[in-house]
């Protein structure tokens, strides 16, 4: 297992969420990363915050998204960021956060979040039309996949949690 840095930026290059993680391995879905409870994460230049629960993240090889699977009691079960394709350079994975988020709540509700931020950033950050279309299509497909528990949202993360969590 290798220590890595997870770095999200905003369109135009501004630093967004960033934190350390541990590369657990890869499978057909992509690369799996463990982030233990208590990990310090920063949003841009803001002071760091500690993650309250452990997570396992999935970075697909060619998908316009990243997924975070949360342990209880976190209210989110699955949180999928619509992003550019994750890029690996050395010990770092980077991607541009495109605002839209597909969230499966632990109580079963399925949400598409931050549509207002996405609309605002199309203007203020100058998203190109092809990026807008790709993000919208990705969000639509993710809503269906997460809602129907299609792979990799079908429990594919469980064996990776078993590797990451002690006991």
Per residue in 79-124, pLDDT (tens digit) is: 999 999 999 999 999 999 999 999 999 999 999 999 999 999 999 9
Question: Residue 67, SS3?
Answer: strand
User: Does the pLDDT at position 167 exceed 70?
Assistant: no
**Tell me, what's the pLDDT at 166?**
66
Query: Quick check: 131 and 98 in contact, CB under 8 A?
Result: yes
The pLDDT of residue 115 is 96
Q: Residue 154: which of 33, 26, 28 has the closest Cα?
A: 28
The pLDDT of residue 162: 87
- List all residues 6 or more positions away from 13 whose beta carbon is below 8 Å from its beta carbon: none
For residue 145 the two structure tokens come to: 């996949």
Calpha distance 121→136 (Å, rounded): 13
Q: Other CB atoms closer than 10 Å to residue 21's CB: what's the count? A: 23
Helix, strand, coil percentages for the chain (3-state, nearest 5): 20, 45, 35
**In the predicted structure, residue 157 carries a pLDDT above the cut 90:** yes
User: Mean of the per-residue pLDDT values for the chain?
Assistant: 95
Handedness of CA 50, 124, 104, 160 (dihedral sign): negative
């Amino acid at each position: 297992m290798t220590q890595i840095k997870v770095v999200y930026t905003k369109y135009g290059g501004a630093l967004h969420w960033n934190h350390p993680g541990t590369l657990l391995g890869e499978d057909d879905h992509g690369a799996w990363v463990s982030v233990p409870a208590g990990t310090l994460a920063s949003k841009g230049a803001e002071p760091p915050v500690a993650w309250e629960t452990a997570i396992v993240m999935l970075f697909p090889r060619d998908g316009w998204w990243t997924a975070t699977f949360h342990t209880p009691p976190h209210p989110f079960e699955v949180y999928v960021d619509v992003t550019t394709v994750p890029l690996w350079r050395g010990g770092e994975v980077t991607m541009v956060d495109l605002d839209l988020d597909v969230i499966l709540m632990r109580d079963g509700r399925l949400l598409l979040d931050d549509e207002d931020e996405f609309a605002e950033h199309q203007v203020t950050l100058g998203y190109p039309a092809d990026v807008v279309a790709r993000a919208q299509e990705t969000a639509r497909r993710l809503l269906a996949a997460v809602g129907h528990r299609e792979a990799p949202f079908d429990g594919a993360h469980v064996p990776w949690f078993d590797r990451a969590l002690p006991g």
